[in-house]
Structure 1
Amino acid sequence: MVQGIEDVARAAGVSTATVSRALRGLPNVSAATRERVRSAALALGYVASPSAASLASGRMRTIGLLTPWVNRWFFANVIEGAERTLRAVGFDALLYTFDISREQPRREVDPGVLRRRVDGTLVVGMPLRDAEVQALEDLGQPLAFVGTGRDDHLTVRLDDHAAGTRATEHLVALGHRAIGHVSGTPDDHHSWSPPNARRAGWADALGAAGSPPLPGWEINGNFDVPGGRASTHTLLDAHPELTAVFAASDEMAMGVILAARDRGLRVPEDLSVIGIDGHDLGELVDLTTVSQDASGQGAQAAALLLELIAGGGSALQVIHPTRLVVRGSTGSPRSGDA
């Protein structure tokens, strides 16, 4: 017997509208409810929509998932959200990683490994060159992005400029004007990339406050804790006048806090620190952050990609909201330091 959305709603104890929102990865559904709905759908063998039902035959039932890393917070959470959505309709994820490091350029995306193995491709947080995008398009299958992607493709992301602006404005409101920035990877020059957009938000917010950033107030932190730590030492050696640091990710922000501790600086009395993400360990280190729902972005991107595979879907840019979470790593600068 084919199970319908009403059966899933009854099993999960929610409305059919909530079932639809949960399985499509849309916001305003709690994590607990989303998991309960997905578990019920999986147990009942429910296919999320009539369009998704057309995927049941003649398909590989697999999505190619390209990502730089699987062990960093944003990427791990996006992948987890995408896989949950895919499993709910009987799809698998074929994972390929492309390490981005300081020492060597990453290898080129080879579409040949995906040909006749997947029904579509989801690129997670990895800037691609135009030739690589074209090579994936040439597969003749739907292509979607999470976190970073061109305006002419389905992309689920933040308003990264707004997130960088919001983080910097929080520090400005506390009285800081000498605010350093630990950015992301150095080889991503696209204007639509998250590191560049967050950097622009930082610069614009400081400019609006009448204190445009000075040359040298920005440094690459490679989106990890060691990079954030090492880069902060270099930054503060050159610019000891900085009273605050905005890091483009929480993991780099944690590295900033470690560097401050190395130098005998108190956070936030001597140095305020803010990040972006909403990392699970942020509360443990009392980190102020601009929080995002990475798992929800992965779930929604996977659901929308499935709609594209089934011949539906229309949205190109889906912007997820952020939330400022104020904790103990930010405070007013010492008198005379602002």
Structure 2
Amino acid sequence: MTGIIDVAARAGVSATTVSRALRGLPGVSDTRRRMIRDIAAEMGYVASPSAAGLPTGRTGAVGVVSPPVASGWYFTAIAEGVQEVISGAGYDVLRYGLTHIETERRHAVDTQLLRKRVDGLVVLSLPLTPDEVNALVTMQRPVIAVGPVMPGISTVRIDDVEVGRTAVRHLVNLGHRRIGFAGGDPGHSLGFPVAPDRQQGYEEVLREAGIEPDPKLVAPAKFIAEAGVQAYAEFKRRGPLPTAIFAVSDEVAMGVVHAARADGVRMPEDLSVVGVDDHDLAWVFGLTTVAQPVREQGRIAADSLLERMRTFGTATYPGVEVTTMPTELIIRSSTAPPRAAAHR
């Protein structure tokens, strides 16, 4: 089996230099780093994270912490963006999916465990308490978040209030006045701000148009397609149906579209639907959506984390930064002006 000493002998450098080159650590020129990586690849050498950590205090791994609801497309897409950059830099990616029990007890992040296993940490849409943020800061490992802004931690995010404004402004401009909102989960123990922020944008635009928000037109929905089916059923039970629905995510919107079509509702003649994300399958549903660069958020967060790992403990280490990514309304066939006979 090829070892680090073999690579070092072939390259004519020390084993320490090989380790630093393959781990992306400073102190190795770009030319030499490329040469060492080429030789390692040719010889079939794969660095051991645990072994590499012994002389340097580094593990060669980055942790990605996600909440219990992280099985959906959004989290998968962000993780793909993170993985692409982190793996490309020669690090392993360790996923930590929290359970409902852990989050209900607020043991959100085991910093003692993570400090031993990772050189940096990406937190995916996991709102933390001030004590938890402080624990991460004192862990002596670079941390970056994707999603809700938390004081003291650099974050890559979108403006969710503006997302709500964009979606509902489109519907209002089409002439809709009876607009429903499907989103939010009052019983969720983590208190995600995403749905409330998007609902805030929804209500702001309605009031700007002289429409007082109606609580009967707001239905709870987690970020899954099944919740969209349930939200449609709730709107129908309350009756009459709105002429348009703003769904908190594309997956919820897909559930609404599926349930409405199964119920014989014509779309968009009788019901317009807008989602958020630009899910990989949004085009299949002809779904109008407020697109966000999900995978790119993961890539940018990973790039920022790598820079912080390279400069940690030095004068050039970046301060706390919040990067707000742009969003874009993509209009497809799921929205249209309301018809005079839309209320059946």
Fold similarity call, TM over 0.5 = yes
Structure 1: which 5+ residue stretches go unaligned? Answer: 9-39, 45-55
1:1-338 equivalences in 2 (<5 Å): 4=30, 57-68=56-67, 69-99=69-99, 105=104, 108-111=107-110, 112-186=112-186, 187=188, 193-309=193-309, 310-311=311-312, 312-314=317-319, 316-335=321-340
**Residue 153 of structure 1: CA displacement?**
1.7
SS at match of 1:115: helix
CA distance, structure 2, for counterparts of residue 188 and residue 182 of structure 1:
19
- State the distance in 1 between where 2:254 and 2:189 align: 22
**Per-residue CA shift, 1:273-294, capped at 9, x if unaligned?**
0000010100011000011111
Tell me, in whole angstroms, the C-alpha distance in 2 between the residues paired with 1:115 and 1:125: 20
Q: Which amino acid aligns with 2:114?
A: L
Cα distance in 2 between the residues matched to 1:283 and 1:156 = 26
Counterpart secondary structure, 1:307 = helix
How many residue pairs get aligned? The number is 292
Cα distance, 1:58–1:98 mapped onto 2, change above 3 Å = closer
Post-superposition offset of 1:149: 2.8
Letter in 1 for 2:328: R
CA positional deviation for 1:254 = 0.3
Give 1:137 shift.
Answer: 2.9
Q: Is the 8 A contact 2:104 2:189 kept in 1?
A: no
SS of residue paired to 1:85: helix
Change (3 A) 1:240 1:146: same
Superposed displacement of residue 126, structure 1: 2.2
Cα distance in 1, alignment partners of residues 293 and 165 from structure 2: 18
Deviation at 1:107, TM superposition (A): 6.6
Give the superposition deviation at 1:188: 6.5
In 2, Cα distance between the equivalents of 1:139 and 1:125? 20
Aligned letter for 2:65?
Answer: L
Q: Is the 8 A contact 2:149 2:322 kept in 1?
A: no
Q: Deviation per CA, 1:82-131, whole angstroms, max 9, x where unpaired?
A: 01111121112110112569xx9587324133131112221112223333
Query: CA–CA distance in 2 between the matches of 1:156 and 1:183?
Result: 22
Q: In 2, are the aligned partners of 1:151 and 1:316 still within 8 Å (CA)?
A: no
SS at match of 1:290: strand
What is the TM-score normalised by the length of structure 2?
0.77
Higher relative contact order (CA 8 A, sep 6+): 1
* Percentage of matched positions with identical amino acids: 37
Cα separation, 1, equivalents of 2:61 and 2:131: 24
Q: Distance in 2 between matches of 1:99 and 1:266?
A: 40
- Seen in structure 2, the aligned counterparts of structure 1 residues 98 and 267 have a Cα distance that, compared at 3 Å, is farther
**Which consecutive segments of 4 or more residues in structure 1 shift more than 4 A?**
104-107
Q: TM-score, normalised by structure 1?
A: 0.78
Distance change in 2, residues 1:253/1:302 (3 Å): same
Name the SS for the 2:337 alignment partner.
coil
Tell me the secondary structure at the aligned position of residue 116 of structure 2: coil
Q: Is the 8 A contact 2:143 2:305 kept in 1?
A: yes
- Aligned partner of residue 260 in structure 2, secondary structure: helix
Report if aligned partners of 1:204, 1:212 keep a CA contact under 8 Å in 2: no
- Separation in structure 2 between the aligned mates of residue 238 and residue 267 of structure 1, nearest angstrom: 20
Question: RMSD between aligned alpha carbons?
Answer: 2.9
Given the superposition, is the C-alpha separation of residues 133 and 251 from structure 1 closer, same or farther in structure 2, using an over 3 Å criterion?
Answer: same
Q: Which amino acid aligns with 2:238?
A: A
**SS of residue matched to 1:66:** strand
**Aligned partners of 1:255 and 1:89: how far apart in 2?**
39
Runs (5+) with no aligned partner, structure 2 = 1-10, 12-27, 43-54
CA–CA separation in structure 2 for the residues paired with 1:331 and 1:304 = 41
Structure 1 residues 110 and 159: alpha-carbon distance in aligned structure 2, compared to 1, 3 A threshold: closer
Work out the CA distance in 1 between the residues paired with 2:221 and 2:287: 17
Secondary structure in structure 1 of the residue aligned to 2:121: strand
